[in-house]
Amino acid sequence: AQSVAQPEDQVNVAEGNPLTVKCTYSVSGNPYLFWYVQYPNRGLQFLLKYITGDNLVKGSYGFEAEFNKSQTSFHLKKPSALVSDSALYFCAVRDTRTGGYQKVTFGTGTKLQVIP
C-alpha cells in the first residue's frame, strides 16, 4: 500500500524568509510525486510534480521541491515567502503502473502561515 506523511499540521514563517513544507512517502515502485495548494473554500491547484530525472523540480509561483529517494522525501521549498503563500498544501503520490487506474494518495495537508 502507498502512503504519504506530512508531519507538520502547520508551519509558520516570516515574510521574506525561506520556507519548507515536509513530505515523506511510501510506495512499492518508483513514485510520481505531486504538490498541490488549496486556498479557503477552493479546489486544489497543481504546483509541481516529480516523474523522473532531475531531483530538483521547479513549479509555479517560485516553489520548488527536492526528491530524495534514499530518504523517501519530497519537501516543498521557496526561497522567500510571501503573505499570499498562506494556504493549505497537500503532497500526493501516484502509482507508477501504466494503464488502468492510477491511484493517487494524498497527505493530510500542512497549513502554511506567512507572517507579515
Partner 1 sequence: DGGITQSPKYLFRKEGQNVTLSCEQNLNHDAMYWYRQDPGQGLRLIYYSQIVNDFQKGDIAEGYSVSREKKESFPLTVTSAQKNPTAFYLCASTQRGEVGGELFFGEGSRLTVL
Q: Which three cell numbers stand for residue 92?
A: 500526493
**Under the criterion CB under 8 A, does residue 32 sit at the interface with partner 1?**
yes
3-state SS class at 92: strand
Q: Which three cell numbers stand for residue 41?
A: 473554500
Q: In this structure, are residues 96 and 104 in contact, taking their beta carbons and an 8 Å threshold?
A: no
**Under the criterion CB under 8 A, does residue 90 sit at the interface with partner 1?**
yes
Nearest to 4 by CA among 111, 95, 108, 99: 108
**Under the criterion CB under 8 A, does residue 29 sit at the interface with partner 1?**
no
Identify which range of 10-18, 21-29, 36-44, 73-81 contacts partner 1 by CB under 8 A: 36-44
Secondary structure percentages of the chain, helix, strand, coil, to 5: 5, 50, 45
Residue with cell 530538483: 56
Identify which range of 11-19, 68-76, 78-86, 93-101 contacts partner 1 by CB under 8 A: 93-101
What character string, x for contact with partner 1 (CB under 8 A) and - otherwise, covers 45-84? xx--x-x---------------------------------
**Under the criterion CB under 8 A, does residue 99 sit at the interface with partner 1?**
yes
- The residues that touch partner 1, with contacts defined as CB under 8 A, are 4, 9, 32, 34, 36, 41-46, 49, 51, 90, 94, 98-101, 103-104, 106-109
